[in-house]
């Protein structure tokens, strides 16, 4: 079961994620998501929301194989993911003056 994830060029990593082992973590996310204990921050597909925080274990579902998320961040746990979204919102507010996270992340590309 392989999922073809797309990653933001400026991938945000939580403090508990080792950047040196990022390639290994990405392979694990794509090939064995049930054994991956992390959370992914992804662009939301709907118009109402900006970001989704997803457990990597969800990627075993057929929906995610057909509709892989666009990953903008990886966190070690749910709380860390929320802190990363807060940091991203502050960064966006400082640069743009608003919290249009989707547009900000696309601008960073």
Per residue in 83-105, pLDDT tens? Answer: 999 999 999 999 999 999 999 99
What confidence category does residue 1 fall into, taking pLDDT thresholds of 50, 70 and 90? low
Q: Which two tokens stand for residue 31?
A: 């090939």
Contact predicate 95/104, CB 8 Å: yes
Helix (H) or strand (E) holding 41: strand 39-43
Percent of all residues in the chain with a pLDDT value above 70, rounded to a whole number: 99
Distances (CA, A) of 98 to 28, 54, 95, 107: 35, 24, 8, 14
Distances (CA, A) of 45 to 31, 48, 71, 76: 23, 9, 12, 23
Question: Which sequence spans correspond to the domains of the chain?
Answer: 6-108
Kindly report, residue by residue over 51-66, the tens digit of the pLDDT.
999 999 999 999 998 9
CA–CA separation, 13 and 6 (whole Å): 15
pTM over 0.85: yes
Residue bearing tokens 């640069």: 95
Kindly report, residue by residue over 33-43, the tens digit of the pLDDT.
988 899 999 99
């Amino acid at each position: 079961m392989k999922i073809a994830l797309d990653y933001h060029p400026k991938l945000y990593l939580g403090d508990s994620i080792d950047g040196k082992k990022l390639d290994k973590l990405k392979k694990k996310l794509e090939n064995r998501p049930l054994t991956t204990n992390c959370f992914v921050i992804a662009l939301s597909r709907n118009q109402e929301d900006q970001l989704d925080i997803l457990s990597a274990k969800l990627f075993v579902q057929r929906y995610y194989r057909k509709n892989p998320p666009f990953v903008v961040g990886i966190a070690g746990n749910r709380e860390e993911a929320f802190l990363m979204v807060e940091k991203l919102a502050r960064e966006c507010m400082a640069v743009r003056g608003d919290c249009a996270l989707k547009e900000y992340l696309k601008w960073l590309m």
